[in-house]
Amino acid sequence: MVMDINEILRYLPHRYPFLLVDRVLTVEEGKRIVALKNVTMNEHFFPGHFPHHPVMPGVLIIEAMAQAAALLSFRSMDVKPDENSVVLFAGIDHARFKRQVVPGDQLIFEIEITQSKRNIYKYKGVARVDDELAAEAELMCALKTK
């Protein structure tokens, strides 16, 4: 199942400049998601992050992976977030950065659920550019409701 930006906005509370997922290419509910981020020179972080050698901050690559994971969680639970619920980062393990991400790159995120218990999900995620590994991490997120 493909999700365009309008569908993504229904599931994520993030908005510019912090929405980091542009499109979902595949969702296998309860299993995995493949999503993408088009990295352009117009990103808000490039003027201040190595201005003469623009590189996407690694922490934002991990954040984008977490946003894709949140999309997978909401789709898997068949719920949409509202003012009473949000998926929050609960942990990051084994994060590694293998390749710089620069303007013009297209990041492809592959996130799979490795464990779920109640409202806590664990994931294994990778980010690639042109089939080259850019980053990988194990993530944990929790659904928080009021």
CATH number at residue 112: 3.10.129.10
At 109 the pLDDT is: 98
- Residues in the chain predicted with pLDDT less than 70, given as ranges, are none
| Given the residues 44, 49, 52, 94, the one annotated as active site | 49
At 114 the pLDDT is 97
pLDDT at 68: 97
Report the pLDDT value the prediction gives residue 104, as an integer from 0 to 100. Answer: 97
Cβ within 8 Å of residue 32, ≥6 positions away: 26, 72, 110, 111, 112, 113
pLDDT in tens, 5-33: 999 999 998 999 999 999 999 999 999 99
Q: What is the pTM of this model?
A: 0.94
Nearest-angstrom CA–CA distance, 136 and 140: 13
What is the total count of domains within the chain? 1
Q: Which range marks the domain in which residue 115 is found? A: 5-145
Active site residue 94: no
